[in-house]
Each structure stands twice: as structure tokens, then as C-alpha cells.
Structure 1
Amino acid sequence: MQRHAVHHVLQKSIGVRAFVTLMGTLGGVAAAQAGSEAASAPSALPASAPAASAPVASAPIAPLAKSKEQHERLAGAFWQGTVGKGADSPAWNLWLNVYDPPPKAQEGDKDPVADTLTGEAYDDRPQGRAFWSIEGRNAPERRFVWRERAEALDAAGQAVMREGGTLSGALSVDGTTATGTWSDGGRSQPFTLKRAARYQEAISASGQARLTERYPVTGDAAIDALVQSLRVRRCDQYDTECVIRISAIGLGDTVSLLRMVWAYSGGAHGNYSFAGGNWRRGAQGFLPIALADVLNPTSACLQSFNTQLVDALKREGAPEASRGALKEKDLRNAAFPFTLQGDRIVVHYGPYEVGPYSSGAFRAAVRLDDLGAACKRPTT
């Protein structure tokens, strides 16, 4: 199922995978290189475009702040770009988060090319999957290979592992771009990726709890301020541990972020939930985007949108998919857990929302073109 198995992610990896082989600089170039990177302004996007595939500034990342935090490190990178049009396939956008292994894993691994990397991949290819998980290992000579794998349901409703295409290529000398070829079943298309952010991880004490925060840093002051607005910076009073992760989904003139908060305060397991953050850059700076700013917020549109959401949840195996239908108030809530991924709106569901905790979390992707005329916003 296309679910967030976050209780596994927090330890090692999750069941929905793509295998990745790449060198450590894909997760982040050595910190010494950061000071030499020049800033570049993001490309303009149409005001109505939900996609955020334009590159953002790769300005120097400020030195890690000195604070009460016990440990800070660079923990990975966010990449975005395009897979070019092939002889028999259209072009699509690609977004990729790659996270470095935790420090203890790095110290215990004596093989210089054996560091395990994890993360997520997103794309908006027609009729394609909206989400993949990735896992891989470093490789020498700045080259990499990504093999797509994802768990899906067969006709009988049983979980099966689906093999996808392969992305193979190389990093630029400065580690800020990656180019190569996507191939699948004899088809091949070129791709180009740009590193749009690097992840910073901070571990500190919050009352009696251990707090771990991971969030992207872009070098664009306005975008980084949006990221900071989603930070929580503390655990709740009765927590003994909490993990807060802000993931980039798209960066540019449209910014789409997803925050996951996991907390444990006793009992059999912790629990986690999601919050979204979406903004569009305008003349007065970034303005928040709610679903009502993307869709025509009418009852007819809501009905169409809910039909698509529930169908998507059923395809992903959500035991109680019908509970995933939205209410009118959700359309106007800027913190509602949705993200913008190319031509798709993706709604994120935590445990218990559309099934028992054991089922994990789910995401439902709906293509704007599938919603029909009822959801098109007026042009005047």
C-alpha cells in the first residue's frame, strides 16, 4: 500500500521502496563546499501553477547556529527537476529527498562506499505513482543508479512489489546538479535535477523529552522563513520523545512543505500526524494557499474531489477509505495536510484516520484534470 509506515521510517526504512545507489554528495556536498555556492533566483511560474519544479537559490547555507541544542548536522538534500520527453513518452517533473545515514551508522560502517541512504521520491508522470520510497548506498566516481520499487495491490487485493524504471547518471563537480537517463522497458528519457535545499537535523532536550527536528534550508531567506514557521521546537509536556520532520515537496515560486510530528508518552507505541504548508510568491511576498485557492470551493467540486479521494484511498488499501472524505471547512484551512505535487493535489492521512494504527498512514493523490469543470476556478 502507498502508505507512510512512519513507525518503521523512524528506525530504518519503509516497505514501499526504490533502490538507490549513489555517492554521499547526493545527500549533501561536504560542508566546506557550501560557502562557495553562488545564489541564483528561482524561475518564474504562472501565478496559478501548483507545480514547483523551478530551481531555487543554492546560496551558501549559514553555519549551524550555536544554541542549547546538543547536536546538529547536515542530514541530506532535496532535489527537483524534470525527466525530458522521450520518443513515446511525455516529460514529467521529479522531486527527490535523500537523507544521509545517522551518525552512529556512519561510524560503525567501515566500508567507505556502504553508507545506506533513505528518502522519498515524487513525480507527476501521467498514470504514474505519486510517491516512492528510496533506499540505497554510496558509490564511487560521483555516479548513481535509482531503481524504482513500490508496494501495490493486485487484483485480489494482496500486496505485491512493483518494479519501476531506472534513473542512472552522475553529479556535477560541485554536487549541485545531477543528470542522466531514465529507462523502463526499452524506453529512455534524459533527466536533470538541481539541488534545491539541504536538510539540517538538530537534537536537543525538551523538558524530560528528547527532541529531534529535521528541516530543509534553501539559502532563500523568504522560503527559509516559511520553513521556520512550521517548526515546533519542543515536545509536549508528557512526551518522553518526539520527532518533528519538515519535508520539501516542491520549492520555487510555489512552496509546498509537509510536517510530520511523532511523539511517545508511554504505552505500546507513539503516534504521529501531519500538517501541510503551501504558499505562492506574489508582489507582496509569499501568501498561504488553502485548497479553496486551488479548487473552486463549491459543493459540486467538493463532491467530485471526495469521490476521487476515496477512490484513491481504496486503491491504496485504506480499510476505511470513506472516512477520508473532506468537509467544507477543510478547503479553507491553510494548515490542512495537503501538498501540491505537479498537477496533483495530495492529501495526507495519519494513523486511525482511514484505518487502524497497524495500517500506518496513507496519502491520496488526485489529478486536477480528473476533477472536471466543477472544480475549475473562475478566470475573472
Structure 2
Amino acid sequence: MHRQTVHCLTHSAAWKSAGGGVFVTLMAAVCAVGSAHAAGEAASAPSTAPASAPAASAPVASTPTTPLAKPQEPRERHAGTFWQGTVGKGADNPGWNVWLSVYDPPPKARDQDKDPVADTLTGDAYDDRPQGRTMWTIEGRNAPERRFVWRERADALDPSGQPMVREGGTLSGALSADGTAATGTWSDGGRSQPFTLKRAARYREITGTAGQATITERYPVTGDAAIDALVQSLRINRCDQYDTECVIRISAVGLGDTVSLLRMVWAYSGGAHGNYGFTAGNWRRGAQGFQPITLADVLNPTSACLQSFNTQVVGALKREGAPEATRGVLKEKDLRNPAFPFTLQGDRVVVHYGPYEVGPYSSGAFRAAVRVDDLGAACRRPTT
């Protein structure tokens, strides 16, 4: 499978995720609580990996390796937050996990809408609920007194294969006084479950220039030196001398003893539209610090496992509406590529596809989620 940067959407449409999930919401209250801290974090966080960072924090992407050019006269802002938590967890219910990035509206959008209650935020979300979708779009608005409401939505196909929008549940809750936790109730069709979230990172956005290009970069800052060094290792330039605009976004997918980060680069150098593509970084914490992992470290890298995995990938892409799902099959070399665009969400492996990879330009990007337990014995790694 060809995994290089591909021709893609126009800038305004580049963030369409035809198959998957974007948790969209609220939380201007987060900015109210955290804006004073965000400036301090922005000043103190390193722009490159600290000298004391462990060797395991070296860049995992195979190419390119040129350090990101420092923008001239950069503008910096707090751009959002990353949350992790559970829904429905209790003494007799394991519930499910959720991972949520919430992005603040751009400054211009805020200027047009002065009412903080009406701010609508965007983001990305994943969950590992049994028998459910892995990814959702969530639309919501802020509410007074630190309260918020998120409504789940997702693009899908109906039984006849026609595109449709699937409505999910609603999460309504409130932030803690310090803005580091959120609690509330998830409800859907008369069912309800409690949820709890913890803030694991803040997103920082820097906009400036390098040569003739305008560069906008967004990445998470956790306050954990080892994890932040991993983030810094993905801050490598994918823009070239011919670009007039470049956007680099590093998204947290999971943070903890396993760290999963997705990196997207969009660039425009003229013509009808720009180009974008994905790489990723995945690490596990061990006795020697964080070590990079590939799909071969997650699955048994045999031909039988690869066949089983590809069957699941193609099926997932078809369910998400990818017109050319069979083009999404992986090759053996993809299993050992540390920059291959896969991320880990609980017991699922998610493979990320840019435009043109599994459908025409107009279809946008897709994600295929595969539950490891569905792969069978062929993919179980041998125990020692």
C-alpha cells in the first residue's frame, strides 16, 4: 500500500473525515480556567527535545528528518485540550474508554461570535465501546457555569449503501473548578451512563513564516518531560521551498504507559488544492524508558495474521463508506514501518488513510478500526 503524502482536499475541506470521528464541542470554560497557565506553559515548554531526554525519545518517523524551521515573529495561542476517561464504569460494569481532543475555535470565529455560550468547538474522539463505533463526530455548545453538552454524530452507510448521518448519544456534564476534570451523564435512547474525564494535555498552536510559507503548527503539551519529548520528536518539517502555506498538526490519541500520536501535514504550493498525508508515532514505556513500537510489536507478523488483518481492514473501510476499500490492504513492510499511520485505542488498531488512498479526492480521509480480539489465533503474539 502506498503510504506517502497524496493529493488531497482544498484547505477549507481538508479536515473532512468521511469515515470517522471527531468529538466536537464546547468548553470555552477550559480557556477561562487555563488561559493564564497556557501562556506560562508556552514560555517554559522546549521547542525541541530536551538534552536530558532519553535516547528512546528519538524521532520515529523515517523521513523527513529536517528540524522544523523556526517561524519568524510567531503568534502563539492555547488551542484546545486532550481528555481521557471512561463511560459507565462501576463496580459491576467495566464501561468503555474514551479519548477526546477538543479544539478551540479560531480567533476570527470567536470575533464573529461574542457570546461565550454560543462558542462551538471541534475535535477528534475515539472510544472502545463493545459492539459500537470507534469514532464519532460530536457537535455541541458551551453552557453557563462550566457546563457543556456534546452530541454524537457519524457519517455512515444505510443498508442500501447510501450515505447517511448516524445520531449517537449525548454527553452532558460540567468541569471541575480547576478545569482538570469533567463529569456528567451519557444518554442514548433512554439509556444513561455516568462518565468521568481527566485532562491529559493542552494543545498549543504557533503560526509564523519560514521563507515564503506561512506555517501553522499545533501539538499537545502534557507536562510529562518524557512524553513531551516524544511529541517533540514528531515536530519535523514536511514543507519545502515551493510551499506558500503549510499546516502541521500532531494529535494525541492515547497518553500513558502507551503513547499514540497522529501527525498530519497539509501543504499548498499552487494549483487547485493542497496535499496532505499522515504519519504516526507509537511507544510503550519500559525499564529503559519509552521505546517505539510498530504493528509487528502489536500483532504476530506472519502472513496468516496479515491476511486476517487485511480482511478486517477492508471490512471496516467498507462500513465507513470507502469507495475503493480493497486498496487499503497493508503490505508486509508496513508492519515494521515505525512511521506507518496507525494508532492504538484500547484493544483496537486504527489505520489512517488520506484522500485518494481508498477513494476519490472528493471522499476525503478514512480510518479503519480493527479489534485485536477479532483477528483470531493467527495474530496472537507468542508468549515467552
1:86–1:187 contact (8 Å) kept in structure 2: no
Q: Given that residues 247 and 258 in structure 1 are in contact (C-alpha distance below 8 angstroms), is that contact kept between their aligned partners in structure 2?
A: yes
- Give the paired residue count: 353
Q: Partner of 1:350 in structure 2?
A: 354
Matching residue within 88, 98, 102 for 2:106: 102
- Structure 1 position 242 matched with structure 2 position 246: yes
Structure 2 counterpart of 1:127? 131
Report the equivalent of 2:57.
none
Q: Residue in 1 aligned with 2:273? A: 269
Q: CA deviation at 1:19?
A: 8.0
Match of 1:251 among 251, 255, 259: 255
Match status 1:362 vs 2:366: yes
Within 5 Å, which residues of 2 pair with 1:279-298? Answer: 279-298=283-302
Q: Secondary structure at the match of 1:113?
A: helix
Query: Any idea what the Cα deviations from partners look like across 1:326-354, whole Å, max 9, x if unmatched?
Result: 01000001110000011100000111111
Partner of 1:147: 151
Counting only pairs closer than 5 Å after superposition, residues 81-230 of structure 1 correspond to structure 2 as: 81-85=85-89, 90-230=94-234
- Deviation at residue 98 of structure 1 after TM alignment: 0.5
Q: Helix, strand or coil for the counterpart of 2:118?
A: coil
Deviation, structure 1 residue 108: 2.6
Correspondence for 1:320: 324
- How far off is 1:166 after superposition? 1.1
Larger mean Cα displacement after TM superposition, 365-374 or 78-87? 78-87
The CA deviation at 1:90 is: 4.8
Distance 2:294 2:208 in 1: 33
Q: Percent of counterpart pairs with the same letter?
A: 78
- Alignment-derived partner of residue 58 in structure 2: none
**Structure 2 residue aligned with 1:232:** 236
Q: How big is each residue's C-alpha offset from its partner over 1:94-129, in whole Å with a ceiling of 9 and x where there is no partner? A: 011100011112223222322221111110001111
What amino acid does structure 2 have at the position aligned with 1:369?
D
CA contact (8 A) 1:206 1:234 kept: no
TM-score in terms of structure 1 length = 0.86
Bigger Cα displacement from structure 2, 168-177 vs 110-119: 110-119
C-alpha distance in 2 between matches for 1:289 and 1:202: 29
Task: Give TM-score scaled by structure 2 length.
Answer: 0.85
Kept in 1, the 8 Å contact 2:354–2:364? The answer is: yes
1:1-80 equivalence runs, <5 A = 7=10, 22-26=26-30, 29-33=33-37, 62-63=43-44, 68-80=72-84
Cα 1:255–1:62 shift into 2, 3 Å: farther
The alpha-carbon deviation at position 175 of structure 1 amounts to 0.3
Paired residues of 1:27 and 1:99 also in contact (CA < 8 A):
no
- Partner AA of 2:137 in structure 1: S
- For CA contacts below 8 A with separation 6 or more, give which structure has more relative contact order: 2
Q: Which moved more, 1:170-179 or 1:230-239?
A: 230-239
Of 60-69 and 152-161, deviating more is 60-69
Structure 1 unpaired stretches of 5+: 37-59
| Partner Cα distance (2:97, 2:275) in 1 | 32
**Quick one: distance in 2 between partners of 1:81 and 1:369?**
22
Gapped runs of 5+ residues in structure 2? 1-7, 48-69
CA separation of 1:17/1:257 partners in 2, compared to 1, >3 Å: closer, same or farther? closer
Distance in 2, matches of 1:19 and 1:326, equals 28
* Cα displacement (A) at 1:183: 1.3
Change (3 A) 1:34 1:356: closer
Question: Does the residue aligned with 1:104 lie in a helix, a strand or coil?
Answer: helix
* Corresponding residue to 1:333 among 337, 353, 357: 337
The one-letter code of the counterpart of 1:230 is L
Contact 1:17 1:135 in 2 (8 A): no
Provide the alpha-carbon RMSD of the alignment: 2.5
CA apart distance, 1:314? 1.2
Question: Given the superposition, is the C-alpha separation of residues 9 and 288 from structure 1 closer, same or farther in structure 2, using an over 3 Å criterion?
Answer: farther
Partner SS for 1:116: coil
